[in-house]
Amino acid sequence: MSITESEEYDIRHTTVQDMSFLREWFKTKGMLHWYPPEDEELENFIRIWIGFCRYNASLTATIKKQPVGMAVLYLMPYRKVAHHAMFQIIVDPEYQKKGVGYSLIRNLKHLGKKNFSLELLHAEVLDVNPIVSLLQKLGFEEFARQEKYVKEKGKYYPRILMECEL
């Protein structure tokens, strides 16, 4: 039985109290490589992420009520573009590659379609991010690529934009 099939596993709406877990995961060595902010920009990034919990647009995966992952829908504020949203996800390194990310994204897709009438979900990732294969498995397809998107320690990394119809 996988972790996500266990009775101890649950997915709930994110709360402000989850912020400390999000901060801890982002401070894990190497984690920020996969996300846009630098260390000094991290607090603002976390506040924006957690801010979407007031709209119930963020989910937290838990095991024994302890957060092990989060995913957020960045809802669009304008009606003309409110039919799609970008999302981000993070999973505690201890629980990566154990089905938590898959479960969070599936639930986030359902949340987006049912609660926010989303038609498309977008992901923006570095092209070497291990999550790319998971996104493909969940129906996401690459629709754009931007070379030299991230510059980190003098080295450039391309990003790919992926989308999934809900």
Q: What is the pLDDT of residue 37?
A: 66
Q: Which of 142, 54, 68 is nearest to 104 (CA)?
A: 68
Percentage of the chain exceeding pLDDT 90: 77
Q: What is the pLDDT of residue 17?
A: 96
**Mean pLDDT confidence for 39-59:** 91
Per-residue model confidence as pLDDT tens digits over 127-162? 888 899 999 999 999 999 999 988 888 999 899 999
Q: How many domains does the chain have?
A: 1
Residues with Cβ < 8 Å from 154, sequence gap 6 or more?
Answer: none
CATH number at residue 123: 3.40.630.30
Angle among Cα 58, 59, 62 to the nearest 5 degrees reads 150
Q: What is the pLDDT of residue 103?
A: 97
**Mean pLDDT confidence for 44-66:** 95
Query: What pTM did the predictor assign?
Result: 0.91
User: For residues 154 and 36, what is the distance between their CA atoms, to the nearest angstrom?
Assistant: 15
Handedness of CA 124, 94, 60, 29 (dihedral sign): negative
Residue 145 lies in domain? 3-165
Q: What is the pLDDT of residue 57?
A: 98
Burial class (CB in 10 A: 0-12, 13-18, 19+), 143: exposed
Q: What is the pLDDT of residue 55?
A: 97
pLDDT for residue 30 is more than 90: no
Q: What is the pLDDT of residue 2?
A: 83
